Amino acid sequence: MAKTKSGQPSFQHFLEFFPAVELPFTLGEDTHHLFSKENDPLPPAAIGAYIMPIEGEQEEYAMTEFIACFQLPSNDKFHAIVYWRAGLLNYQYRLVTFDTKGNLIAEKVIAGTTYDGTDLTQTMAVIQDNLLIYLVSGQSQVVVEDYAAANSTANRLQISDEGKIVEL
């Protein structure tokens, strides 16, 4: 693994864990299974250097799994990756943009499943080739077992030319 003088993996090596995908691409409830089969596991040093600064240091991360998903088409200003984070009753696809040196520009949860003891919320995302992202969320109460369309929401995001994640 290529490392910097400080001993952490280089940013370019970190990016190699995230293969490019062809857009448009849909992130659904079980898409992470494809990535866990196809992609190499993220080494702990790469997680520590590039993901934990985003996530923050917390004790619960001893039981958290991170899977490299994919890299969006990049330009000369930024790189955009998506990774999957599996915690206790909280599964998230996170979109993160970095400048070309590996400094964080923006991050946003764009899909996943959460359960708070009462409500189950599921969000799917479709990433278009113009880096426009459509999010659709549905929420239901597990105890009631009925889905109510009124509990659904739709949002749009876009990655700007500078790598910022903007809500439209």
Average pLDDT score over residue span 4-10: 73
| Residue showing tokens 């996530």 | 55
Q: Which tens digit of pLDDT belongs to each residue from 102-119? A: 999 999 999 999 988 888
Average pLDDT score over residue span 37-45: 93
Residue 127 lies in a domain: yes
Q: Which residues contact 17 (CB under 8 A, 6 or more apart)?
A: 39, 40, 42, 46, 68
Residue 56 lies in a domain: yes
Q: Which tens digit of pLDDT belongs to each residue from 49-71? A: 999 999 876 656 667 899 999 99
Nearest CA to 14 out of 119, 140, 86, 100 is that of: 100
Residue 58's pLDDT is: 64
Residue 120's pLDDT is: 87
Residue 4 lies in a domain: no
Domains held by the chain: number:
1
Residue 6 lies in a domain: no
Range of the domain at 118: 11-167
Residue 96 Cα distances to 6, 33, 151, angstroms: 23, 20, 27
Question: Would you tell me how many other CB atoms lie within 10 Å of the CB of residue 156?
Answer: 12
Q: Which tens digit of pLDDT belongs to each residue from 133-148? A: 999 998 877 665 555 5
